[in-house]
């Protein structure tokens, strides 16, 4: 422990704290902009400057380690002046069309401008020529909004170990862009959107599809069905001003019904179907000397990462489509047949916590007889915009239930949204099958958590099964390298493209960097999902009655001919 004073207040903190963190302990929030805890700690923007007794120059508090007896001042005229001119300089070359900006009222730059009481921008200089890259199916980059904080660059390079975005050119012409100014769509970008959630402004955002969804809802000839991914319910509330980790399943369903969707289904149902298909695929690979380890394939960012960077592992990927695609395919076959609706007239909308799902839905191989499984994908943020646009008072909504036709789900389906959840759901089913009895064990708490790579060994039916979990593509990379070198061996692996899994996907609500200092979003949002799992009567996918009915009346058995046609896919280099 180290003790120091901040603005005259004594504080004791661990010795690995920075001054910025120490100040928060005593309720002093030093402004910052480029700082993103654990990701971008570079002290570049000079907004978080402080004065320290005995130091000649002012210091960037986000990279300044605490020291015994240190005396720090955070609010002096000198500091206010420096911060003001720093911000004015940034603003002078910023496209300040706040009212029509997608980050209006949730922009970190706008907030700072207000908090630091900037009432004029005296130097109106040359402006960067706006270049908008909207060629990718998932992400739009607008350099006229970029403030060169580098948060996206560090995220892509260090957390994802991909490095699509970089600082290009020099001096006034410095920009953040892919090398050679390519469109993000023409690079090995996996569309995970982690750069989008790292961006404090609107320089990076999802490619919106809201208007196409409104158009479908207006069209009297179209039957519009919506499905919501597991992780969406754990975060939508934040867009409505509720605390992080509030679960809003019932209100979300009510809102979607009011938006006019004919049916509101839950992707969880298809998550349970995925477990049936993937679980049996796993058993088949074990029993018939198939390619092992089998690796999950439901995270489209991860699949794209594997295609670009580890094509030798493509035979290891499960052939199962992701739950979003399975649900789409089942809506246009099973549901359409039962309801006697022409599948060509069905428009499937997915609400996903993920920007890569937009790209996944557009993959040509994810169509059945020329009909796309999913017609439009919107993020959690886009759904919130639609709810607001429709003037629905979210807080006054009652809790409503998903439509029953394709929605019964077991607890296993909902935990898919957190890292380790797909593995846990799979184990709940595979263990019962291998042991040939109904095991009392449901919670595999030993594989939960946020450690980048987690592993376990289980003895099931007299066989030892080695499993591993990785989240964030840098961790996936580390894991695959260890398998390649022979250092590690596994039977079954879950990989999610984003750190934390879907709950912290690139389409989830923005949370300011300062709020991420003391809160681990991955933990808080995952709690909401594990809580929903606990409330379910059935918590194992193979106990889900709706799933059993689907097999009995339609698919016949897991991995059947029809199941293969509708629910499985292949990968390309």
Instruction: Indicate whether 379 belongs to the interface with ligand HC0 (CB under 6 A).
Output: no
SS3 state at 53:
coil
**Is 53 designated active site?**
no
Q: What angle do CA 569, 308, 177 make, to 5 degrees?
A: 125
| Binding site partner of 155, from ligand SF4, ligand HC0, none, Cβ cut-off 5-8 A by kind | ligand SF4
Give the whole-angstrom CA distance, residue 133 versus residue 137.
Answer: 11
Instruction: Indicate whether 318 belongs to the interface with ligand HC0 (CB under 6 A).
Output: no
365, 446, 531, 549: the active-site residue: 365
CB atoms inside a 10 Å sphere around CB 131: 12
Instruction: Indicate whether 190 belongs to the interface with ligand SF4 (CB under 6 A).
Output: yes
Residues 333, 338, 343, 347, Cα dihedral to 10°: -100
Question: Looking at 118-126, 159-167, 260-268, 306-314, which segment touches ligand SF4 (CB under 6 A)?
Answer: 159-167
Give the whole-angstrom CA distance, residue 348 versus residue 327.
Answer: 9
Instruction: Indicate whether 22 belongs to the interface with ligand SF4 (CB under 6 A).
Output: no
Distances (CA, A) of 374 to 236, 455, 570: 21, 34, 17
| Binding site partner of 200, from ligand SF4, ligand HC0, none, Cβ cut-off 5-8 A by kind | none
Half-sphere exposure of 393 (CA within 13 A, CB side): 2
**Is 277 designated active site?**
no
Instruction: Indicate whether 203 belongs to the interface with ligand SF4 (CB under 6 A).
Output: no
Listed residue (186, 188, 177) closest to 136, CA to CA: 186
Gyration radius of the chain's alpha carbons: 25
| Binding site partner of 318, from ligand HC0, ligand SF4, none, Cβ cut-off 5-8 A by kind | none
Q: Which CB atom, from 160 or from 379, has the smaller least distance to ligand SF4?
A: 160
Instruction: Indicate whether 416 belongs to the interface with ligand HC0 (CB under 6 A).
Output: yes
Give the whole-angstrom CA distance, residue 219 versus residue 482.
Answer: 52
**Is 199 designated active site?**
no
Quote the least distance from Cβ 248 to ligand HC0, whole Å: 14
Strands 49-52 and 139-142: unpaired
Give the whole-angstrom CA distance, residue 382 versus residue 319.
Answer: 30
Residue 278's contacts (CB-CB under 8 Å, 6 or more residues apart) are 294, 296, 318, 320, 426
Q: Is 124 exposed, middle or buried (0-12, 13-18, 19+ CB in 10 A)?
A: exposed
**Is 487 designated active site?**
no
Strands 463-471 and 492-496: parallel
Q: Of 197, 427, 502, 526, which lies in the binding site for ligand HC0, with binding defined by CB under 6 A?
A: 502
Instruction: Indicate whether 191 belongs to the interface with ligand SF4 (CB under 6 A).
Output: yes
Greatest CA separation found in the chain?
A: 79
**Is 149 designated active site?**
no
CB atoms inside a 10 Å sphere around CB 427: 26
Q: Of 18, 138, 246, 299, which lies in the binding site for ligand HC0, with binding defined by CB under 6 A?
A: 299
Instruction: Indicate whether 271 belongs to the interface with ligand HC0 (CB under 6 A).
Output: yes
Quote the least distance from Cβ 192 to ligand SF4, whole Å: 4
Instruction: Indicate whether 17 belongs to the interface with ligand SF4 (CB under 6 A).
Output: no
Q: Of 48, 52, 60, 139, which lies in the binding site for ligand SF4, with binding defined by CB under 6 A?
A: 139
Residue that the structure tokens 């005229």 belong to: 77
Instruction: Indicate whether 162 belongs to the interface with ligand SF4 (CB under 6 A).
Output: yes
Question: Looking at 157-165, 353-361, 465-473, 476-484, which segment touches ligand HC0 (CB under 6 A)?
Answer: 353-361
| Binding site partner of 190, from ligand HC0, ligand SF4, none, Cβ cut-off 5-8 A by kind | ligand SF4
Quote the least distance from Cβ 139 to ligand SF4, whole Å: 6
Q: Which CB atom, from 137 or from 353, has the smaller least distance to ligand HC0?
A: 353
Quote the least distance from Cβ 193 to ligand SF4, whole Å: 5
| Binding site partner of 376, from ligand HC0, ligand SF4, none, Cβ cut-off 5-8 A by kind | none
Question: Looking at 77-85, 155-163, 239-247, 455-463, which segment touches ligand SF4 (CB under 6 A)?
Answer: 155-163
Instruction: Indicate whether 328 belongs to the interface with ligand HC0 (CB under 6 A).
Output: no
**Is 298 designated active site?**
yes
Residue-by-residue DSSP string for 151-206: HHHHIIIIISS---EEEES-GGG-EEEEGGG--GGGTT-----HHHHH-SSSSEEE
Chain residues in the site for ligand HC0 (CB under 6 A)? 229-231, 267, 271, 298-299, 322-324, 352-354, 357, 416-417, 422, 501-502, 505
Chain residues in the site for ligand SF4 (CB under 6 A)? 139, 155-156, 160, 162, 164-165, 184, 189-195
Annotated catalytic residues are: 278, 281, 298, 318, 357, 360, 365, 502
């Amino acid at each position: 422990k180290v003790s120091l004073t901040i603005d005259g207040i004594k504080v004791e903190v661990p010795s690995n704290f920075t001054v910025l963190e120490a100040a928060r302990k005593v309720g002093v929030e030093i402004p910052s902009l480029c700082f993103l805890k654990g990701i971008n700690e570079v002290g570049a923007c000079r907004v978080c400057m402080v004065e320290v007794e005995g130091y000649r120059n002012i210091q960037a508090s986000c990279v300044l380690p605490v020291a015994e007896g240190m005396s720090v001042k955070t609010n002096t005229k000198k500091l206010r002046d420096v911060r003001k001119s720093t911000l004015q300089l940034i603003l002078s070359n910023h496209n300040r069309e706040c009212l029509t900006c997608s980050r209006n009222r949730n922009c970190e730059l706008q907030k700072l401008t207000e908090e630091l009481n900037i009432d004029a921008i005296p130097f109106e200089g040359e402006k960067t020529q706006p270049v908008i890259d909207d060629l990718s199916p998932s992400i739009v980059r607008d350099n006229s909004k970029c403030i060169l904080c580098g948060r996206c660059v560090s995220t892509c390079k260090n957390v994802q170990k991909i490095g699509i975005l970089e600082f290009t050119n020099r001096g006034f012409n410095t920009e953040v862009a892919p090398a050679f100014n390519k469109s993000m769509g023409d690079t090995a970008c996996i569309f995970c959107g982690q750069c989008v959630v790292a961006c404090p402004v609107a320089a990076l955002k999802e490619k919106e599809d809201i208007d196409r969804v409104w158009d479908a809802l207006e069209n009297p000839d179209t039957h519009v069905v919506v499905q919501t991914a597991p992780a969406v319910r754990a975060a939508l509330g934040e867009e409505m001003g509720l605390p992080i980790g509030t679960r809003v399943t019932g209100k979300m369903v009510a809102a979607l019904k009011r938006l006019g969707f004919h049916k509101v289904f839950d992707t969880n149902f298809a998550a349970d179907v995925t477990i049936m298909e993937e679980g049996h695929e796993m058993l088949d690979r074990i029993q018939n000397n198939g390619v092992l380890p089998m690796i999950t394939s439901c995270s489209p960012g991860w699949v794209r990462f594997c295609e670009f960077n580890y094509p030798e592992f493509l035979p290891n990927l499960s052939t199962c489509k992701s739950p979003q695609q399975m649900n789409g395919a089942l809506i246009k076959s099973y549901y359409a047949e039962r309801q006697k609706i022409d599948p060509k007239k069905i428009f499937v909308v997915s609400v996903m916590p993920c920007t890569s799902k937009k790209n996944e839905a557009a993959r040509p191989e994810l169509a059945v007889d020329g009909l796309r499984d999913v017609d439009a994908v919107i993020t959690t943020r886009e759904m919130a915009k639609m709810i607001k646009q429709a003037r629905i008072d979210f807080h006054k909504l009652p809790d409503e239930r998903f439509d029953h036709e394709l929605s019964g789900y077991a607890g296993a389906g909902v935990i898919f949204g957190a890292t380790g959840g797909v593995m846990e759901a799979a184990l709940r089913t595979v263990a019962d099958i291998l042991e040939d009895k109904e095991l009392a064990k449901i919670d595999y708490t030993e594989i939960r958590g946020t450690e980048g790579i987690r592993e376990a060994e289980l003895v099931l039916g007299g066989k030892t099964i080695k499993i591993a979990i990785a989240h964030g593509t840098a961790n996936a990379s580390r894991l695959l390298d260890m398998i390649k070198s022979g250092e590690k061996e596994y039977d079954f692996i879950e990989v999610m493209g984003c750190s934390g899994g879907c709950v912290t996907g690139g389409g989830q609500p923005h949370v300011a960097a300062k709020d991420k200092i003391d809160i681990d979003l991955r933990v808080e949002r995952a709690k909401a999902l594990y809580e929903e799992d606990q409330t379910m009567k059935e918590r194992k996918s193979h106990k889900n009655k709706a799933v059993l009915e689907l097999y009995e009346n339609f698919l016949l058995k897991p991995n059947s001919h029809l199941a293969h046609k509708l629910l499985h896919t292949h990968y390309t280099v």
